[in-house]
Amino acid sequence: MTRSPGPAGRWRGARARGAVAAATVVLAGIVPGADTALGDQRVSTELGYSCAFPAGARPVTVRIGARFPDRAAVGVHFQPADVTASVTLPDAAVAELTGRRAARTGATTRLTVEVAQNGATAPALWQGAAPSVPLAATGTAVLGATGEVPTVTANSAGDLTMTAAALTLDFSPVTAEGAATDPATLSVTCTLTPGTAGLLAKIPVGAATSSSPTPSPGTPATAPATGGPEQPSPAPPAVAAPRAQGPRTAAAPECRGDTSQPLALSAYVTGYSNVTKLGGASLIPVYCAKIVQGPSRLKRIEVRPGVFELHLFQSSVGRLDHQGRAETPPAPATFLTFGFMPTTATMTLEQTGAMDIDSDLNNTAGHGETYIRIPVVLRLSDVRVNGTPLDVGPNCRTAGPVYSHDPDPAKNTQDHMVLLGKLTKGKDTVWRGYSLSRGGPLDGSVTIPPFTGCGVGEDLSPLFTASVSGPANTVKQNQGAPCASGIPDDPAKLCTADKQPTTVPVPLR
């Protein structure tokens, strides 16, 4: 994800040095579900950029590598694979970081790629995040980043081109003591130098055949033609956001994202909770989750002598949000008290502490796991037994948070729920499953503690403990593609004008 520009005036006092030093940012694409096999059109292109650092424009060399299909079919989406970009910063640019006492820096990257066909164009945003690395007084520094690459669908026959355009680099430098510099971020925009051709690939597109794969349901509809009836304007190629699961509907609650935090996300989530004693699934309505991403950390791990794996770690924090409260929307539930008496109630999950999100992407082995840990208590209200209201009072809830067995022994404290999202890379090099920045399915199993505070005049807590509490209650959630509310541009159209998510997931059983 990306960072908003910082005040350039505060980044002053950069010093010039005679020796040439460089920092390199490497962007490697994690590509979500593609339905077409890629050919062997491999590209490695060196481009010249001019980047607007606070002390002046700096020439920056960018080398972009990718693997594109050697051909495509109308209406069938594809994705570039093995995407890399190395961004080499000159000495003067590095000095603007070290001049503010920066000893290390991470970076996030945004590369706009223009997708064009038959005179129509559509932007695609390639994003990346690089973990923090040391900044030496001289020499080079390499930051490795990963990010999402959206799918592309050709709307008609003819050559489709993909061309690099604007680039944004967002740095997050820290001092030798580990504190953020002042200001904490530096964002620079880069444009291609005059005379630089940014063409990355030209892909011939032909008519679909009976053997061609069909577009996935998540692919956005093609933009409508805007010309007259005799000569309609060509529709632009459709650029699909990862895991876009449908348009936002009126049923979705308000979910305005934070526009002041550059790494902020907002996303819709929904799903089912199968409560064992209820003998069925209770729907958890669409709710809003607000997230602030942490920096990515790239680490080379020796799994056995001489054998290494490359992992990308990220730790983020989040909060449920329903009308300003840290909870899910109230939802109806039906169960049987004493095994035969029909009882209805309104169930709400209330967040009682920080939501921690830990991701580990194993690039070498081709799989990733995201663990979401969140403490929530279950509250009951508006209880009716056989249609007759039962006054349980305002404080009928579990005595503590519902909890899961945590696979990390150090965190197995039985005070939080654990949801797991998995990401896998197929033989076709396509990543499928869950990631924070694309959404997808999340699974968990929880124990519901005994109830407390239920009843007015008499203690009804044992009634609900006997009817609801217990282990092995499964939870299946589905997160939609998030809105990156902290960045001003939104080429993937994942945000409304007021920075709410445009995609609403459907509940999964």
Residues 6 or more apart whose CB falls under 8 angstroms from that of 273 comprise 281, 282, 284, 473, 474, 475
Q: What angle do CA 434, 245, 334 make, to 5 degrees?
A: 85
Q: Which helix (H) or strand (E) element contains residue 463?
A: helix 461-468
Residue 161 has pLDDT above 80, yes or no: yes
Please, where are the H alpha helices in 48-135?
A: 91-98
CA atoms within 13 A on the CB side of 475: 22
Average pLDDT over residues 218-246: 40
Instruction: State yes or no: pLDDT of 221 exceeds 60.
Output: no
Which residue type is seen at 89?
A: L
The string of pLDDT tens digits covering residues 270-303 is: 988 887 776 666 788 899 999 999 887 878 888 8
Average pLDDT, the chain: 78
In 3D space, the residue among 183, 123, 140 whose CA is nearest the CA of residue 3 turns out to be 183
Where do you find CATH 2.60.40 in the chain? 8-207
pLDDT per position as a tens digit, 26-64: 433 322 222 333 457 888 889 999 989 899 998 888 888
Q: For position 156, what pLDDT does the model report?
A: 81
pTM for the model stands at 0.58
Domain 8-207 sits in CATH at 2.60.40
